Amino acid sequence: MSTSSSPRLLSLVRSSVLALAPLALSAMAAEVTLAAEVTPSPAATPASGSAFEDSPKAVIDEAWQIINQEYVDASFNQLDWQVIRQDLLGRDYASPDAAYSALRAAMRQLNDPYTRFLAPAEYAELTDQTSGETSGIGVRLERNNQTGAMLVVGVAPGSPAEQAGLVVGDRILLVDGQSVERLPPEGVLQQLRGDEGSQITLTVSRNSGAPRTLILTRTLIDLPTVEYAQKTVGGRPIGYIRLIEFNAQAAPQMSAAINALVDAGVEGFVLDLRGNPGGLLMSSIDISRMWLQHGAIVSTLDRDGNDDAISANRTALTQLPLTVLVDGRSASSSEILTGALQDNNRATVVGAPTYGKALVQSLHGLSDGSGITVTVAHYYTPDGTDISRRGIIPDVVVNLDDRQRRELFSNPTLLGTDADVQYLRAAEVLEETILANQGSPTPGASRLVRVPQAE
């Protein structure tokens, strides 16, 4: 495979996204960068003029054109894509929703869960999430699988939520007087978002205490996606960094975390990618370059057989020893970063096998505010490995049973603590690497020692 960065691949990176694994699609914990909208060619547009433009068929044809031009499989899963178009445009639609349903059904025939239609609300949610900023109150939410409670699991510093006194563990009961009992987390977050300067009323409880009512004013929020702390293993200071998703703010937040911990004198890092469903392709490349001084990062193959790669560019922020934590929910951009670090012997990977998503998507907005994601390429790790459906196998395998996983991830404050057995093993591996590197002629050089797999 090519190891140089071609202009074509750089263009692909700037207009592409790695669509979410199915486990994250419903949560919209997204991973996208906007691609340029594709305008239907004059030859492909029916001659009915403005009547067509004002009908739901216009959006259907926009989506069809994009898929026709970009989809990774030139055979369209053995479908006659022209016949599909004729069928879609030959129908009458009573409403946009009816057209959306027909378009979704047509796209499902591609048998590709990552090529999908997004209604306007879904598209807005996805673009807000991946931009790394939104107008809201600055919280992350999860529903407790055991109790069903809608819990605050993250509060942005300086946000309206923090100023109102919300803390991790608080339970959201009502939003503007409406119960959140039957809503998924993304549905509640949608309610929390709104115009900058508008107000929202929350009813919350803490530690099963009496409900209390808070009135908050929405503001523009940079969504926190990197959490970090200095920890100790064997008496040595190490840095722990958790990357939640690869949105547009992930790279600058990661850079700030690395630099702060290096300045604090840490001797190595544990990078936690567990539960990270992926994100912006460019974000995964930028972050890979923060850890990797040289070597290939990722290679892509499109439907025309173009095979290109992107490499590190000698801009690493640190060469201190590194271990990476992954699990079955680490997908897409998480796997690009993990594969780049593992294949270049830059890090020891600890945890459970990753999800196994090796496809690149582009995200397109349509004229009525809806959108589609379209698979445009297949990617490979630097060693040329296709991780589809098999994932990346850690160097040190540490599996959790269902109970351990439920207890750990239902309370994110336990991540990176003595209650986290995967983290403890990662810290042990990091200490072994630090000790092995003490004889390195260059301080801080990453001459890593692989540790045999262990259950």
Instruction: Return the closest-CA partner of residue 424 out of 408, 403, 448, 406.
Output: 408
Q: Which member of 131, 311, 332, 446 is catalytic?
A: 332
Phi-psi region of 69 (alpha: psi -120 to 50; beta: other; left: phi over 0): alpha
Beta strand segments in 263-358, E: 269-272, 296-302, 307-311, 322-326, 348-351
How many CB atoms lie under 10 A from the CB of residue 455?
Answer: 6
- Whether the CB-CB separation of 240 and 324 falls below 8 Å is answered with no
Q: Quote the tokens at residue 204.
A: 């919350």
CA distance linking residue 81 with residue 58, whole number of Å: 17
Residue type at position 251: A
Query: In the beta sheet, which residues pair with residue 34?
Result: 363
C-alpha–C-alpha distance, residues 133 and 220, integer Å = 7
Q: How far, in Å, CA of 105 to CA of 162, rounded?
A: 43
Q: How far apart are the first and last CA of the chain?
A: 34
How many Cβ atoms sit within 10 Å of the Cβ of residue 376?
24
CB atoms within 10 A of CB 445: 13
- 343, 362, 370, 420: which one is catalytic? 343
Q: What are phi and psi of 107, to 5 degrees?
A: -70, -30
Is 357 among the residues known to form the active site? yes
Burial status of residue 175 (CB atoms within 10 A of its CB: 0-12, 13-18, 19 or more): buried
Q: What is the Cα–Cα distance from 53 to 44, expressed in whole angstroms?
A: 13
Residue 412's SS3 state is helix
Estimate to the nearest angstrom the gap between the alpha carbon of 277 and the chain centroid. Answer: 4
Q: Sign of torsion, CA 294 298 302 304?
A: positive
**Cα 367 to the center of its chain, rounded Å:** 25
Q: How many residues are recorded in the chain?
A: 455
Q: Does residue 343 have an active-site annotation?
A: yes
**Per the residue annotation, which of 15, 334, 357, 446 is the catalytic one?**
357
Which residue numbers are catalytic?
332, 343, 357
